[in-house]
Structure 1
Amino acid sequence: MDIDNFKNSALKAYDENRRLIKSIKKKKYKNLDKTFRDLHEEVFEEIDCLTCANCCKTTSPIFYQMDIERVAKSLRSKPSAFIDEYLRIDEDGDDVLKQSPCPFLGNDNKCIVYDSRPTACREYPHTNRKRMYQILNLTLKNSMVCPAVLEIFERLKKTSFLI
């Protein structure tokens, strides 16, 4: 994965993808969830996250209390010690990682706490969920981080459901 090439492509496509989202919000397509889910499955048949891990290198998931407890337990740490060592509160009041790349990202792009990773990591990039209308702006933001999301947008532009 050539991350610099991806970043340039994502920047070039951003305004067009933003306009696409505005159009989708206006028209209220009934099959949006299914279309995203189908494209998600198609794209992730072709893209291996372990070749990229840009999400883990550049962003932080939100850690909910259950995530903190689960990851702390897997590290044989107390939740309070885990919070002190790894987390900070962001401008939205959410617990997020103090640093990037993620301290749990191995040199092989594998997560060392994979089985106990936060919910946000489990669900990322959120393109196969229900009620996509609610997270279209987040999906646009994720198109700047995840090559798979950018590819989903490219394929979405070519689907017949937009006609």
Structure 2
Amino acid sequence: MDLYADWQKNAKSKYKENQTFLKRLKKVKKGKQIDQIVNDTDEKAFQKFDCLTCANCCKTISPVVTATDVKRIAKHFRMKETEVISEYMRVDSDGDYVMNRQPCPFLGADNYCSIYEARPKACREYPLTQNQGFNQRPALHARNTLTCPVVFHVVKELKEKL
């Protein structure tokens, strides 16, 4: 079985277990140690998993798009910010701009992002495994195990090492 099929098969069945583990991890006082394990595991995982093979994040979730992101995308397209918003965005239940459809309107058939250099900050930072304070966002990372094989792999490794 290939790595992606293995992830898809196991992500849903392990979700509750991962969710419980990550909630408990929030109470652990070894934040820097956890971040180091996550960062090291993330680097190894990205050697195994290719975002261009998967692109599940771009197909299934919509990033929050900030005003700075809108400005950058508008500049990229040489459009007015209001045009970018009306063409590509909607306001979600939290009052944030998000993409108005899934998969992302900028995702090509080859899984390349047509605005890669101008992509939103949330896309640049995803899957949030290189940020500090990994153990402080258990619900987010639990959800991301369903979306991203790298996050699933990172959580699997954390469970084995801790």
Moved over 4 A (4+): 1-5
8 A Cα contact 2:39 2:129, kept in partner:
yes
Which range is displaced more, 3-12 or 46-55? 3-12
8 A Cα contact 2:19 2:138, kept in partner:
no
Q: After superposition, what is the alpha-carbon deviation per residue over 1:97-131, rounded to whole angstroms, capped at 9, x for unaligned?
A: 11000010011100000001000000000011112
1:126 aligns with 2:119: no
Report how far residue 23 of structure 1 moved: 1.9
TM-score if structure 2 supplies the norm length? Answer: 0.92
2:115 aligns with 113
Equivalent residue in structure 2 for 1:54, among 53, 56, 66 = 56
Secondary structure in structure 2 of the residue aligned to 1:128: coil
Equivalent residue in structure 1 for 2:160, among 154, 158, 161 = 158
Q: After superposition, what is the alpha-carbon deviation per residue over 1:20-47, rounded to whole angstroms, capped at 9, x for unaligned?
A: 1122122222411111111111101111
Report how far residue 152 of structure 1 moved: 1.1
Q: For this pair of structures, how many residues does the alignment match?
A: 160
1:25 aligns with 26
Q: Structure 1: which amino acid aligns with 2:44? A: E
Q: Structure 1: which amino acid aligns with 2:29? A: K
2:97 aligns with 95
TM-score if structure 1 supplies the norm length? Answer: 0.92
- Cα 1:144/1:86, change in 2 over 3 Å: same
8 A Cα contact 2:145 2:151, kept in partner:
yes
Q: After superposition, what is the alpha-carbon deviation per residue over 1:12-70, rounded to whole angstroms, capped at 9, x for unaligned?
A: 11011011112212222241111111111110111110000000011111000000000
Q: After superposition, what is the alpha-carbon deviation per residue over 1:128-162, rounded to whole angstroms, capped at 9, x for unaligned?
A: 11122332221111111011111111111111xx2
Q: Distance in 1 between matches of 2:38 and 2:4?
A: 23
8 A Cα contact 2:49 2:150, kept in partner:
yes
Report how far residue 4 of structure 1 moved: 6.4
1:7 aligns with 2:5: no
Cα root mean square deviation, aligned: 1.6
